[in-house]
Amino acid sequence: MVQNAIVYCVDVETYLDSDGDGTGDLHGVTQRIDYLAEIGVNCLWLMPFYPSPREDNGYDISDLYGVDARYGDHGDFVELVRIAHDRGIRVIVDLIINHTSDKHPWFRKARASKDNRYRDFYVWRADTPPDTSDQTMFPDVEDGIWTHDEKTGEWYLHHFLSSQPDLNTANPAVRDQIAKTMGFWLQLGVDGFRVDAVPFALNQNTLQGIDEHDFDEPHSYLRSLRGFLERRSSGNGAAILLGEVNLPHEEQATFFGGEQGDQLTMQFDFFTNQRIFLSLARNSAEPLAEALRNRPKDVGMEAQYANFLRNHDELALDLLEEDERAEILEAFAPEEEMRFAGEGIRRRLPPMLDGDPRKLRMIYSLLFALPGTPVLFYGQEIGMGENLEVPGREAVRTPMQWSDEKNAGFSTCKPSQLPRQIPDGPYAPDHVNAAAARRDHESLLHHITRLAKRYRESPELGWGDYEIIDQPHESVLVHRTAWEDRSVVLMHNLGPEPVIVPLALESEEPGTYLVDLLSEHSCQLDGERGAEIPLDGYGYRWLRIKSENDPHLV
């Protein structure tokens, strides 16, 4: 599955309101399954729909087995999974193994006394902690990762909000509960999990002072989750673990499990993502090329990197040097209100790129051309913008813009009942909506649909090995992917000036052709001189290498 997947992330609350109460729901997502199938999506990722106080967009869960009544019930969920499967779309859901809400029954009992069985479900300390202001994920609202609990007089650990206490993943009882949660949702038909904040669940702070449990080394926990997943999903197709691991490549690779491949099935490639934006800021392909050259490849036969441009959080820049972060912020978030905690970017892609259709078409071509699996966040396919008047990360989580009708076609409710306000200006529904994009065959929606079709017709992009091809233009990235007897050369110009790219593939025999998969034009490749390929400013080409007797169709 993972080698030819196209993943689409949906926030149920803001996707489609089917009953007019102002809140998106599971039935609304079900009504749009055919829309996703038309695009070419074959894996739907549902962000948390569980009961929650929603202080962190639902990632503060108060019931791991439940469905928030605002979104529907278990019957609605099962119906969504069934309809998606009928259309060839698999469904994955968020699995939060690092923390719960402070409203979860476990934590309510844990803070009631020091000697109840749930106390050890979380991480406590009796001594006053040192300054940890540099470790919190929410530096704008939290001054550290420990909070004092007045009732028991001790401090509890939380890497995120103080309303999200960290679970003690060294405790076998906690691990059993997480496994039971996985088993429950697998029984309801899900095809895997997007695992939230993986390194924090294995962080040494989480394991601090816990000597009584046999926890040989942190990655044993991931192995146990993967083993449980494979046992429970056998016979129904391989279920996956897609991990959020925001670490440099060498550290990230350990979360796949090495040659055994016995931990995460897929991981978001945060390092390459951040280098993409450094390349865009500089109009230079070199930062991205360097990231791809150094990306570990020996990560197991079934492992896969997941590529993305923007997600449901801020654009994180923490894996870059300080001066590199400053370059990106100056280029794409020059105003303070565009930034999250002064360090990330809380904008969607089109406004960051000044709405330039050339840049947008090129960057989405690059997303689908990169080695790995492309991931889309809802609304990206139509070019939605953010609403900076909405606080924090939720600026990019505004309602899906289905039409230019009331409330962007998202809901029939009063505008005051919307979960978040829809943006005004050039990215308002009058200018950006799915209905208009479906009618316009030159729209970003149709462009991404064509890219998805070619991606799925080109197995070498997901399955093949790749190499960076040297050429003289700093703004151009050229890489080649090959699988069995198939090969594609991908070319992207990250600069505004047109160029002619010399392409010499000396191993090719006379009678070899380059066929552009996006335009179906072709040219002959001379065995000695190669070919000269024109690229417009922010241009791109997908070139299939074919011989006269090649049985593969374009």
| Residues with active-site annotation | 196, 244
Residue of 533, 494, 500 whose CA lies nearest to 514: 533
d(CA 9, CA 29): 11
Residue of 97, 103, 238, 225 whose CA lies nearest to 169: 97
E-assigned strand segments in 251-409: 266-268, 304-308, 339-340, 344-345, 373-377
Question: What single-letter DSSP state applies at residue 89?
Answer: -
Please name every residue paired with 166 in a beta bridge, in sequence order, or none if there are none. Answer: 99
CB within 8 Å of 507: residues ≥ 6 apart: none
The values of phi and psi at residue 276, to 5°, are: -60, -45
Tokens for 425, please give them: 């200006």
CA distance to 140, 214, 396, per residue, from 386 (Å) = 20, 47, 5
- Number of H helices and E strands in the chain, helices first, is 16, 21
Tokens for 385, please give them: 């913008």
Pairing type for strands 499-503 and 531-535 reads: antiparallel
* Cβ–Cβ under 8 Å, residues 77 and 138: no
Residue of 296, 300, 303 whose CA lies nearest to 258: 300
Q: What is the DSSP string of 131-151?
A: --TTT-S-TTT-S-SEEEETT
Q: Residue 35, SS3?
A: helix
Q: What is the DSSP string of 502-520?
A: EE--TTSPTTEEEEETTT-
* Cβ–Cβ under 8 Å, residues 21 and 413: yes
d(CA 201, CA 374): 26
* Cβ–Cβ under 8 Å, residues 553 and 516: no
Residue of 252, 247, 182, 173 whose CA lies nearest to 215: 173
Residue 364, judged by CB atoms within 10 A of its CB (0-12, 13-18, 19+), counts as buried
E-assigned strand segments in 87-235: 90-96, 124-125, 146-149, 154-157, 192-196
- Triad 181, 186, 187: Cα angle to 5°: 100
d(CA 170, CA 229): 19
Q: Residue 356, SS3?
A: coil
Please name every residue paired with 540 in a beta bridge, in sequence order, or none if there are none. Answer: 492
